[in-house]
């Protein structure tokens, strides 16, 4: 049974960059989904139960912190690994990300190799 990965970002070029960075994972039976805002992300997470979510913080309809809190808290889906992506690197944001249950916190601009490397480790893919 394949694993699932969800990319959530309201900026099309960042979504595309992440998709292009991670598309080789599809060779390893990883299905990639995308969402453009927090509400869409929440729906996709509930339907697909992805193993890994790359989650933008600043988004319309529902921000990444709220999505993360709902997934890890209200829905109790603690097994879903969430990497929060944000343009902000301030300590306050990091601690808020940890408070809502984010597993890793990465700042933009990110290194595509690092994104792929983290995804492979989390999804247990040999590269």
Given a cut of 70, whether residue 127 has pLDDT beyond it is no
pLDDT top residue among 87 and 127: 87
Confidence of residue 91 (pLDDT cuts 50, 70, 90): confident
Q: Is the pLDDT of residue 90 over 70?
A: yes
What is the C-alpha to C-alpha distance for residues 70 and 64, in angstroms, rounded to an integer?
Answer: 10
Q: Return the percentage of the chain with pLDDT > 90, whole number.
A: 83
Kindly state the average pLDDT of the residues 1-9.
93
pLDDT at 94: 79
pTM score, whole prediction: 0.95
> What pLDDT was estimated at residue 10?
96
3-122: CATH topology is Rossmann fold (3.40.50)
> How far is 71 from 48, CA to CA, in rounded Å?
12
The stretch 47-64 carries a mean pLDDT of 95
Q: Alpha-carbon distance 3 to 102, whole Å? A: 19
User: Structural domain boundaries of the chain?
Assistant: 3-122
Q: Which helix (H) or strand (E) holds 105?
A: strand 104-107
């Amino acid at each position: 049974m394949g694993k699932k990965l969800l990319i959530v970002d309201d900026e099309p070029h960042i979504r595309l960059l992440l998709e292009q960075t991670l598309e080789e994972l599809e060779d390893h039976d990883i299905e990639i989904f995308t969402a453009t805002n927090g509400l869409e992300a929440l729906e996709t997470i509930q339907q697909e139960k992805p193993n890994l979510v790359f989650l933008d913080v600043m988004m319309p309809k529902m921000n990444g912190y709220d999505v993360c809190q709902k997934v890890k808290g209200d829905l109790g889906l603690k097994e879903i690994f969430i990497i929060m992506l944000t343009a902000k690197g301030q300590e306050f944001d990091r601690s808020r990300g940890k408070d809502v249950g984010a597993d890793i916190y990465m700042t933009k601009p990110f290194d595509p190799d690092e994104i792929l490397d983290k995804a492979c480790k989390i999804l247990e893919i040999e590269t």
